[in-house]
Amino acid sequence: MMPKLGIPVVLGLVGVAAVAVGCASSGRAAATSASCALTRQDSTLLAGGPLFRACMVDDTARALNLTGLRTDFRPQPVMGEQCFSAVVEFVVDPRGMPEDGTARVITSTHSNYANAVLAAVPQLRYQPARKAGVPVRQLVRLKQMAAVVVTASRVGGPPSRPPSSPPRC
């Protein structure tokens, strides 16, 4: 025979069970929220006011002109394909403009390419991030890639044909 439990005990057990199920199913959310927090490196960016990562806002900043982004990058010619990539991070202000002095390289395959991407950041325009309907500063990550194909042709001859498909990086 099962012992009788009072209503407060039953409600308490139901509450504990609900929390346990919630924790088990939100393990990913907990991991995401931990990775969502601003880091010690971000503290220098707080001088400009409150700052949010994409996971902290209701509407994230959206790039308006990435397709026209021009980087001034001239790699040393090497026969064959070369792929370059860089991930940069910077603050987009409530007007949708990258803030001066906030861009930094997160990763890159070539420092000159990373510098070219950093130099191009001021060209960018964004739909600003919003939190509770108010435009806010958001820390944005941008990944850029470039593929270079170098081919040879005879002096005075026709140029060599480009590859039939673009290089895959």
Q: Could you report the per-residue pLDDT of 82-122, keeping only the tens digit for each?
A: 889 999 999 999 999 999 999 999 999 999 999 999 999 99
Q: How confident is the model at residue 157 (pLDDT cuts 50, 70, 90)?
A: confident
Residue 15 pLDDT greater than 90, yes or no: no
**Residue 160: pLDDT over 60:** yes
Q: Where are the alpha helices (DSSP H) in the chain?
A: 7-25, 27-36, 111-120
The conformation of residue 65, written as its DSSP 8-state character, comes to S
**Quick one: pLDDT at residue 41?**
87
160 versus 21: the higher-pLDDT residue is 160
CB-side neighbour CA atoms (13 Å) of 110: 16
Check if the beta carbon of residue 84 is closer than 8 Å to that of residue 75: yes
| Average pLDDT along the chain | 79
* CB of 35 closer than 8 Å to CB of 42: no
* % pLDDT > 90, the chain: 47
pLDDT (mean) for 62-84: 83
Interval 125-153: pLDDT, tens: 999 999 999 999 999 999 999 888 777 77
